[in-house]
Structure 1
Amino acid sequence: MKTAEIKLKVSLDAKNIPEAIEWSSTDGQNEEPLPAKAMFLALWDGQYKNSLRIDLWTKDMPYDEMKRFFYETLQTLGDSFIRAAGGDPMADKVIGDLRDYCAHFAEKMEVVQPKS
């Protein structure tokens, strides 16, 4: 069995606000830590049937980049759900609604140019 390890390092200021986030993976091309300005980590607790999450962003994360980060995360959550659904036709219909919302979010938050 193959194993891989993902490491996260968060540097905090005196008020416990993230100043820097670094991540590395033993399964990547480079095991050297790479910088990140924000992260969402979600885990499923099978025993209690609920999700556990950590949402962090550095104090120098620009708001425009945060809006784009949320938009892209919503889009990729839809992609992940489609893969997990294993061909369930209802999943395709529901993800269409999520895609519509993502387009609405992107337009309202000015992540993309409004349609003319």
Structure 2
Amino acid sequence: MSTISTIKIQVGLDDQKVPESIAWSATDNKDERLMTAKGMIVSFWDPAERAALRIDLWTKDMMVDEMADFFFQTMMTMADTYARATPYKDQADEMRAFAKDFFKKFQEKQAAEGK
């Protein structure tokens, strides 16, 4: 018999329905406490439509440098997942190279802006 894990996501909104807070919990987490986050990207694959369904949210206090870190780490994780799920390691390496170039360009922009 398989087990079921439940993931709960709570999003606090301001009066304009802009996310102010994000918290999540999972039933298979040992302490089952709410974990806070400033951003999230959740994707589901719909096989009938052959389309990705996704939820992208971030809080209004998430800084640009945090968003760049978040995207860099997400892209690197996607490359790792792709490498494990397919025989195409070369494409996973290309994704990693793109992510590194993306982050390098972000850092150069920040330096040029004196940040």
TM-score scaled to structure 1, two decimals?
0.88
Could you say which residue in structure 1 is the equivalent of 2:36? 35
Q: Specify the SS of the correspondent of 1:22.
A: strand
Query: Which residue number in structure 1 is paired with residue 102 of structure 2?
Result: 105
CA deviation vs aligned residue, 1:88-110 (integer Å, no higher than 9, x gap): 1xx11111211111111111011
How far apart are 1:81 and its partner, in Å?
0.7
What value does the CA root-mean-square deviation take over the aligned residues?
1.1
Q: How does 1:1-116 map to 2 (within 5 A)?
A: 1-85=2-86, 88=87, 91-110=88-107
Moved over 3 A (4+): none
How far apart are 1:11 and its partner, in Å? Answer: 0.6
Query: What is the CA–CA distance in structure 2 between the aligned matches of 1:63 and 1:35, rounded to whole Å?
Result: 18
Q: How many residues align?
A: 107
Q: What CA distance in whole angstroms lies between the structure 1 residues aligned with 2:73 and 2:48? A: 30
Structure 1: gaps of 5 or more residues:
112-116
Deviations 1:66-106 (A, max 9, x none): 10000000000001111111xx1xx1111121111111111
Distance 1:38 1:24 in 2: 14
TM-score, normalised on structure 2? Answer: 0.89
